[in-house]
Structure 1
Amino acid sequence: MGINKLPLEQNVLEASRERIRWVLQNFSRVCVSFSGGKDSSVMLNLTAQLARELNKKINILFIDWEAQFSHTIEHVERVREACRDVTDRFYWVALPLTTQNGLSQFAPTWQCWEPGVEWVRQPPEDAITSPEFFSFYTLGMTFEAFVTEFADWFARNRPAAMMVGIRADESYNRFLAISSLRKLRFADDKPWTTAAPRGHAWYIYPIYDWKTADIWTWFAKTKTPYNKLYDLMYQAGVPTRYMRICEPFGPEQRQGLWLYHVIEPQRWAQMCERVSGASSGGIYAGQDNLFYGHRKLTKPDHLNWREYALFLLDSMPEQTAEHYRNKIAVYLHWYEKQGMTRIPDTQPGDAGAKDVPSWRRISKVLLNNDYWCRALSFSPTKTSSYKRYSERVKNKRKEWGILCNSD
């Protein structure tokens, strides 16, 4: 069954203010996730305004990725100061977190603030850098695991709101995060709420129905300061849909790496020393070429897509190849259980956002360095259980007869 978009009688600003007011009135603990980008800046400013009106306090979570533009850090510091009067606690997190590195098959993940290495920059003096600060934290845990555990920790066994500034029109996955009919909502009339995976926290998406034009219209009309990095991106010719302000090395974010070279050459030099593949990513990731299989997919004429995927696996470092073989085997076995003895070599829509199974889609995952295989509907595996998971799936591959040495 399809999901229809139903227009509201209110404009998006009025609707968002109503949602945020409801959150502040119904949750004793509220935390705003802030990245320094345009969307979370709008959400945080609206929340701070209403918190002043209602005489409420909020908390703010900012995850510092170490390799970030100076403009972003300066903007975060300005916003922190502007919201100080309504802030109970500003969690400036500068702990080692593991995330995807879409630039290298030899180092498919990287860890910000990794111990024992030279960092791109130093964290602020008041940032959270002690591993003991959070009772749930384990060294190098994934970003996804951290935000899930943080929500549970922040709730303290009581209902709490984690406000997230995602918008449904940004990507298909974000649209599903809002519109899914299977998720647990706070109430049927609040589709912009989602129960956290564990504990008592709720994710709130108060600006989910804003368009990019709405965001910039709000900044223009209110004269509210924004991250000036966007001006530099605009001057450099970056389309608004590709402007990203977050960790820089993922499959989507890597397209903006070349801007570091232009805007902050000294920081770019440090990033190239710090992260495997950064230099080549700066050259190729922002170009409309075939290097990462981002926009166009091609293969040698003498190979079909299954053969090409197997060729790509054989050309990778063995540890990385085994990781992908495990994920792909689980993927293929799932479709076997659905009655599809063999997924097709290619089919319409298999290179798009929706998971349409084919060997061409698998090849795209491999070319794209999609280490967590998100395009195959996987989520990151927890660092603490990854080794056990890998060994278990490797044994299952032999049982299933999928992607064994004879393949």
Structure 2
Amino acid sequence: MTSTDDRAGWLPEGAPLDNSPHIRDYVPKHNRPRLAAGADVYTLACERMAYVMDHHDRVMVSFSGGKDSTAVLNVALEVANSDPRYARHLPLRVVFFDEEAIPMETEEYVRRVAQRPDVALEWYCLPVQHRNACSRQHPNWWPWAPEDEAKWCRPLPPEAITTLPGFPIWPPSERLSIPNTNGLLAPPPHTTATLMGIRAQESLIRAHAVRLRSVDNYIIKYKIKSKDRQAAALDRGNLWKAYPVYDWRTEDVWAAARIHGWDYNGAYDVMEMAGISPGSQRCSPAFGEEPLQKIHVYAQCFPDVWGRMSERVPGIGAAHRYARTELYGYGAKPPKPDGVTWPDFLTHYIAKHGQAQPKVAERVRQIIARHYLKTSDPILPTAPHPVTGLSWQFLLTIAMRGDFKERRQESNQLMRHSRETYWANYCTELADLLTAGTAGELAHPRPLPADPFTLIPDEYKDTP
């Protein structure tokens, strides 16, 4: 990326952004400094796309109707139509998983995409497994589930594909998630690249997904996440994920739409008129942990669909009212009662997850085990450990919210300060606990050091 400010990374110097849709007065919250790459982000995306098309037998665009997959779709079409050697990828295979609880504007946009002569769109309306963060007692929901037909948020589109070889409809517990269903879309022996609109700006998890570990850091081997008996059948070793626009920012996406005249989802215009900031505009269902914070956007902007969404999944009414409160693990965390150990405090919240309790408990155990594989130091209430990033407050968030998609990683807690600062904060908090006589509430399995500051490695100690 060539720009070092907040301008779109591929616009000519001095080009105005003021009239670009959805980026007027937009100040991104999570921008990182741009690094000089010798080319603009649009050119780089096209180069990556060409490389993917050259080195894979087949490609398919994972299309949601959102702005990021719109960017991937248009870059892919640009490259596929640019040279006869890419003609084998035309018409471009585009896979759309209709998640039912989406704006009507999304359906209309996807239909326009499907009518393009250079696109072969597959419109799947399958009861794939989705997270329902609205209810701890009912942690999953399934769009287009036949048993819930009376509650569907929208009529079944006429283009809908409702069966897929290898996808189990019954019982509901056997239904696959979208990532695992992708394994059914790319049968061997052909190598297939799934083109996805993952951008590093969106989150630290997505930034880590494309960290520089190889020359082709944006091409990642597809690994089936399922641990059940179907995993072996789904993971055939011939499927890859490609993130050609991973270094784009939100303003890059919208500037590209303006400069190239791309069609896009009209739902963004509705959210823009409602005053929703560009970084908060989402068209996906609002029932998962992160989207739940924006559930009010559906009620405000898409009342036709919201009328059905408000009755679609268990707990939706309470979530609409309290999604951004302590009840759903947002904002300030509840204080731990004096005299209660941290493991017991977490157990109280884990027990609230009903049938999902074992999964949440296992997630917490895995994180703690990861910590003790790297260090024998105790886990503290608030200060993240300088090696692992773990704290009891982080674990409390997991215990309260579940983190079923494992998007929260303890190592991300170490991204704001220097390692020296983290060591100073950690040792100071441990010293305060020892002085107050409350260190026993940590439930640390080993003796605690008399002088916590001796834990600091020499390279992180202040020296004259």
TM-score, normalised to structure 2's length? 0.70
- Distance in structure 1 (CA, Å) of the matches to 2:383 and 2:298: 38
Is the Cα contact below 8 Å between 1:161 and 1:204 reproduced in 2? yes
Q: CA deviation at 1:339?
A: 4.6
User: Hey, what does 1:333 align to over in structure 2?
Assistant: 369
Match for 2:96: what amino acid? F
Structure 1: gaps of 5 or more residues:
182-187, 378-401, 403-407
Specify which of 43, 56, 77 is matched with residue 72 of structure 2: 43
Matched, 1:112 2:143: yes
- Distance in structure 2 (CA, Å) of the matches to 1:210 and 1:373: 24
Is the Cα contact below 8 Å between 1:167 and 1:209 reproduced in 2? yes
Match for 1:311: what amino acid? H
- Distance in structure 2 (CA, Å) of the matches to 1:374 and 1:11: 30
- Distance in structure 2 (CA, Å) of the matches to 1:4 and 1:220: 24
Is the Cα contact below 8 Å between 1:71 and 1:229 reproduced in 2? yes
Q: Highest CA radius of gyration, 1 or 2?
A: 2
Is the Cα contact below 8 Å between 1:37 and 1:244 reproduced in 2? yes
Count of residues paired in the alignment: 356
- Distance in structure 2 (CA, Å) of the matches to 1:110 and 1:180: 36
User: Hey, what does 2:189 align to over in structure 1?
Assistant: 157
Is the Cα contact below 8 Å between 2:137 and 2:354 reproduced in 1? no
Matched, 1:86 2:118: yes
- Distance in structure 2 (CA, Å) of the matches to 1:242 and 1:301: 36
Is the Cα contact below 8 Å between 2:194 and 2:241 reproduced in 1? yes
Is the Cα contact below 8 Å between 2:205 and 2:408 reproduced in 1? no
Q: CA deviation at 1:355?
A: 6.8
Match for 1:96: what amino acid? P
User: Hey, what does 1:177 align to over in structure 2?
Assistant: 209
User: Hey, what does 1:185 align to over in structure 2?
Assistant: none
User: Hey, what does 2:27 align to over in structure 1?
Assistant: none
**Following superposition of structure 1 onto structure 2, how do residues 126-137 of structure 1 map, counting pairs within 5 Å?**
126-130=159-163, 133-135=164-166
- Distance in structure 2 (CA, Å) of the matches to 1:36 and 1:376: 28
**Following superposition of structure 1 onto structure 2, how do residues 4-403 of structure 1 map, counting pairs within 5 Å?**
6-55=35-84, 56=87, 57=90, 58-82=92-116, 85-87=117-119, 89-117=120-148, 118=150, 119-130=152-163, 133-135=164-166, 139=170, 140-147=175-182, 149-150=183-184, 153-179=185-211, 181=213, 188-197=214-223, 198=235, 199-285=237-323, 287=324, 289-300=325-336, 302=338, 305-314=342-351, 316=352, 318-340=354-376, 342-348=378-384, 356-375=389-408
Distance 1:346 1:340, change over 3 A: farther
Q: Secondary structure at the match of 2:210?
A: helix
Is the Cα contact below 8 Å between 1:100 and 1:108 reproduced in 2? yes
Match for 2:396: what amino acid? S
Distance 1:138 1:4, change over 3 A: farther
Structure 2: gaps of 5 or more residues:
1-31, 224-234, 411-442, 444-464
Q: CA deviation at 1:245?
A: 2.0
- Distance in structure 2 (CA, Å) of the matches to 1:236 and 1:326: 41
User: Hey, what does 2:439 align to over in structure 1?
Assistant: none
- Distance in structure 2 (CA, Å) of the matches to 1:299 and 1:235: 40
- Distance in structure 2 (CA, Å) of the matches to 1:282 and 1:355: 35
User: Hey, what does 1:184 align to over in structure 2?
Assistant: none
Is the Cα contact below 8 Å between 2:167 and 2:176 reproduced in 1? no
- Distance in structure 1 (CA, Å) of the matches to 2:283 and 2:211: 25
- Distance in structure 1 (CA, Å) of the matches to 2:409 and 2:114: 38
Per-residue CA distance 1:194-236 (angstroms, 9 max, x = gap):
1222422221111111111111111122222211211222222
Per-residue CA distance 1:288-325 (angstroms, 9 max, x = gap):
x43423343342554665443222234x1542333322
Q: Secondary structure at the match of 1:112?
A: coil
Q: CA deviation at 1:107?
A: 0.8
Match for 1:358: what amino acid? S
Per-residue CA distance 1:314-342 (angstroms, 9 max, x = gap):
4x154233332233233333434445375
- Distance in structure 1 (CA, Å) of the matches to 2:140 and 2:66: 23
Deviates more, 1:216-225 or 1:261-270: 261-270
